[in-house]
Structure 1
Amino acid sequence: MTRLTKLPFILFILAAITACAGPKVSQDYNEDTEFDPGWGRYEWRGGTSQIDGVPHSRLQRITEQAMVQRGYRLDPDNPQFYVSVSGTTRAAIGGGKSVGISIGLPVGNRGSIGLGGSKSLEDRKQEGVIIVDITNAESNELVWRGSAEGIPLRDFDLSREPQLRNVIDRLLAQFPPE
């Protein structure tokens, strides 16, 4: 490959790796639920924040801004659905660390015997999780849950609020499910 053809290839690989990185968003809902396309009014219902230095009111404010951008409006007197948002931390999943050693001893002209071992190292890295619940106001049934996992705790810092907004936007982009 020439230098000019290598560069786009390398950029493509980097873009693919970057796209896979970051928080994972997912949703859960009963597939028999018919989501009313006329839903536009909501009210807050509960939620918590168990993330140090992050008040629940901040998560609620960011979520409310994302809801408004999607055309929903807060209507405490006549809601069609309730929204709750919660944040917590947990031990990071994946990316474990281990250390190992092996020794190879020659046997004869062509053979060898190997002996090895390894030890997993404890990794106490924490990550953030955000959960948004949507409850039908008429039936009081939970109809949709969205979650974002693997959020770096630094993204909850005030200086990195745009990253947190992006995660919540991606999360709410799944509602209502298609």
Structure 2
Amino acid sequence: MRLTRFSILLTAVGLLAACSTTPKNDYDLNYDFSSLKSFDLRLPQSVDDPLSAERIQNEIKQQLIQKGFNESASSPDFHATFNLQTQDKPQNSGLSIGLGTGSIGHGGGIGIGTSVGVPLGSKTAKIQMIQIDILDVQSNRLIWRGSDSFDFDSGGENKAQDTQKAVGNILTQFPPKR
């Protein structure tokens, strides 16, 4: 009984880990991020998804203001900009290995199995990748970059919430803590 509960818990944790992404970032190790007080937001040159671009722009602005930065078009300390890319989601069709336990009456057992996935269903699933760049105003060079992505099958409220969450996840890492 205890082994069965453990295997169910382990499976649940594995599924949650497989469904989540971790935002990534990189930054200039020698830059003094404590000197940054104000920003301006620059839009990408071209965008294939204007609705998402507007959502990302608004969320970046809101998140930076919540972090204590001031928006200043006339004299910013840094430029914030972003890129987004929408791609078809790769379909899983790989080999899976499973481990299971069970009991019948007083006996028990452990089983190992394999399966090969065959892609089925809709090909409409998409992945949206968001990258946020922070540039030093004086040198116009990249000082910080963060990115995250999420899966979506359709737009609307769910995609808007996922976009907001992805931008928030990225910017929780800015400015970097040393």
Does the CA-based 8 Å contact 2:89-2:151 persist in structure 1? no
Q: Distance in 2 between matches of 1:82 and 1:156?
A: 29
Give me the TM-score of the superposition, normalised by structure 2: 0.69
Which runs of 4 or more aligned residues in structure 1 lie more than 3 Å from their structure 2 counterparts after TM superposition?
5-13, 118-125
Decide which of 90, 96, 101 is 2:92's aligned counterpart: 96
Q: Report the Cα offset of residue 154 of structure 1.
A: 4.2
The offset of 1:72, in angstroms, is 1.6
Preserved contact between residue 156 and residue 164 of structure 1 (Cα < 8 Å): no
Identify the residue that residue 165 of structure 2 maps to in structure 1. Answer: 166
Distance 1:129 1:13, change over 3 A: same
Distance 1:166 1:46 in 2: 20
Unaligned runs of 5+ in 1: 100-117
In structure 2, relative to structure 1, the CA distance for the partners of 1:35 and 1:8 (3 Å cut) is: farther
Whole-Å separation in 2 of the counterparts to 1:98 and 1:20: 15
Superposition pairs for residues 38-49 of structure 1, below 5 Å? 38-47=35-44, 48-49=46-47
Secondary structure in 1 matching 2:129: strand
Rg larger in structure: 1
Distance 1:144 1:74 in 2: 18
CA RMSD of aligned residues (A): 3.3
The answer on 1:56 being equivalent to 2:53 is yes
Letter in 1 for 2:92: G
Question: Is contact 2:130-2:166 (8 Å) kept?
Answer: no
Q: Structure 2 residue aligned with 1:10, among 2, 8, 11?
A: 8
- Residue type of the alignment partner of 1:71: G
Structure 2 partner of 1:132: 132
Shift in Å at residue 159 of structure 1? 4.3
